[in-house]
Amino acid sequence: MLALFIFGCQSIAEIKEKDHKITSKPNIVFVIADQLRSHELSSYGGVNIQTPNLDRLAEEGVRMTNAVSTYPICSPFRGMLITGLYPLHSGISNNDHPLNPDLPSFAKACKEVGYNTAFIGKWHLDGIGRTSYIPPERRLGYDYWQALECTHDYFNSPYYDNNSKELEFWEGYDAEAQTKSAQSYIENRDKEKPFFLTLSWGPPHDPYIAPDEYRDKIIAENLVLRKNITEHEIVDELQNNPRFKIPDKFIKSFSGLRKLAKDKQMIKERYAGYLASILALDDYFGNLMKTLQKEGILDNTIVVFTSDHGDHLGSHQFYGKNTPFSESISIPFLLRYPKALKAKTVSDALLSPIDMLPTVLGLANLKHSKVDGIDLSNIIKKEQDDTRDAILLMNLTHFNGTSLINGLDTYRGIQTKQFTYARYEDKSPWLLYDNLKDPYQMNNLVGNLSYSKLIKRLDIKLDELLKQAGDPEKTKLIYDRIIKENPKRQLLLDLRNTNPNKF
């Protein structure tokens, strides 16, 4: 049975306060799922499952309808969230690369004004090894620490407990155990100080597994797949006319995964596990909210829920993520803070990961170092006009699984409230979709002469954004820097050897 949280029914004055006073600064609880596309939450129009706890968060706060993962893979998103900087300013231009620990960060900004800081779950910003110990000086301002760089073994999930260098293991399904740990942290916190807590789950990222009690709720045969599940023009073009060569040792395994993305029955089976994971997360989120209410601090806490990127799950017959399609880039972003945000607010403001730090700290009236993102808090509150017309999209490298599986070349693009546009490094247009007329992105307008003037305008805007992001659109320069920092990056070396004139 789903553990619905109940808040909004009682004011803070009606809740018996523990024998401590509420701090004047708001607490901040930031919850991140991994690979959860916005389309699955019922508050975003999902039809296969109900997510009542996250829906209640949207009902009691703000739902952002244009939250976009600028670079839709794990580490670049997390680098943007933690620092407010574009990937080429933070150095996180690909997965499994270390973030400079001297950079300003979300946690450091909170810590400087008296907050306790805590991180629980998946980090994926250290890049030294997915199970390696991460020392305090590389935690970007987080003090309390129960984390691991990265694992997707959710029922045998290791982590490091604060400064112990011995691996511990979460009991059972790691997202549930991590949530219980977050609840315990809240209950046992220093009640004289505000806190900034980040809870970072691994699911619903593949292998799409969840406890049986949730998996049993989903019947794969009954699932409604997205309408673009049969559209394959773009992926076929990439595979039939490849823009780069995949190293020979990967071809066999990757070709099998390409076939999987075209197998409707296999997609439904994986989709069922994906949705079961989301049901579990929704339940755990409800438990977390109940703890905040029980502690009497819910209304003095900024609660945020989001995800690092989405998942194609067969849409456009792509495998994974990292594309500019909505299944890959459209993420949920929900906020609750009744002291500043009206309930049932829906905002169509364009939101990039670089904006999350300044926006949340703006809501809390906290200062921070200069970042690339902008503070959208007054726009969300309807106190300031929304003037931003586009945000950046990018894929800077080839050496991640989904780029190699799909034959996806590097690209840059922009998202407006109406259009998605992407071009290749040689400036040739690749994709253009009118998302208002074509919400499933099945009609690529590149090549349609009626849109040639629009493409020119979008190119000008894209050039402007790339300049702000410090991106010269030169893969070779990015690869040179990565190799200099990490000479043993074997997959990159393999790609360069296979494509000597390209990279």
The 3-state secondary structure of 46-108 reads CCCCCCHHHHHHHHHCEEEEEEECCCCCHHHHHHHHHHCCCHHHHCCCCCCCCCCCCCCCHHH
For residue 253, pLDDT over 90 is answered with: no
pTM: 0.94
pLDDT recorded at residue 15: 37
Nearest in space to 386 (alpha carbons), one of 396, 375, 398, 395: 375
Interval 427-433 mean pLDDT: 98
Q: How far apart are CA 268 and CA 222, in angstroms?
A: 9
Amino acid at 289: M
Q: What is the mean pLDDT of residues 292-306?
A: 98
User: What ranges do the domains of the chain cover?
Assistant: 24-225+262-387, 393-498
- Checking if the pLDDT of 28 tops 60, the result is yes
Which CATH fold topology does 393-498 show?
A: Arylsulfatase, C-terminal domain (3.30.1120)
Among 39, 89, 97, 124, the active-site one is: 124
- The per-residue pLDDT for 446 is 97
| pLDDT score for 23 | 52
Would 24-225+262-387 and 393-498 be classified into the same CATH topology? no
368 a catalytic residue: no
Q: How far apart are CA 470 and CA 365, in angstroms?
A: 29
pLDDT score, position 258: 87
pLDDT at residue 12 tops 80: no
| Token duo for residue 108 | 């450091």
Look at residue 22 in the predicted model and tell me its pLDDT.
Answer: 41
Query: pLDDT tens across 178-212, in order?
Result: 999 999 999 999 999 999 999 999 999 999 999 99
CA distance 46 to 92: 32
Asked whether the beta carbons of 115 and 141 are under 8 A apart, the reply is: no
- At residue 19, does pLDDT exceed 50? no
In this predicted model, what pLDDT tens digit does every residue of 118-159 receive, in sequence order? 999 999 999 989 999 999 999 999 999 999 999 999 999 999
Average pLDDT, the chain: 93
CA distance 356 to 304: 10
Does position 9 have pLDDT exceeding 90, yes or no? no
SS3 118: strand
Q: Which pLDDT does position 350 carry in this prediction? A: 98
CATH match for 24-225+262-387 among 3.40.720.10, 2.40.50.140, 3.40.50.300, 1.10.287.130:
3.40.720.10
pLDDT score for 3: 45
290 pLDDT band (50/70/90 cuts)? very high
Mean pLDDT over residues 378-388, rounded? 94
pLDDT in tens, 301-360: 999 999 999 999 999 999 999 999 999 999 999 999 999 999 999 999 999 999 999 999
Q: How far apart are CA 502 and CA 254, in angstroms?
A: 21
Q: Edge-to-edge, what's the strand order for the sheet holding 333-336?
A: 167-169, 158-161, 144-148, 116-122, 195-204, 27-34, 301-307, 333-336, 62-67, 345-351
Specify whether 74 is catalytic. yes
pLDDT of residue 33: 98
How sure is the predictor about 256, in pLDDT bands with cuts at 50, 70 and 90?
confident
How sure is the predictor about 249, in pLDDT bands with cuts at 50, 70 and 90?
confident
| Of 86, 149, 122, nearest in space to 205 by CA | 122
Choosing from 39, 74, 97, 316, which is the catalytic residue?
74
- In angstroms and rounded to an integer, the radius of gyration of the C-alpha atoms of the chain is 22
Percent of the chain with pLDDT over 70: 95
Q: For residue 485, name the pLDDT band (cuts at 50, 70, 90).
A: confident
Mean pLDDT confidence for 83-96: 95
Name residue 51's amino acid: T
Please compute the mean of the pLDDT values over residues 50-70 and round it to a whole number: 98
Q: Assign 61 a pLDDT band (cuts: 50, 70, 90).
A: very high
Total residue count of the chain as it appears in this document? 503
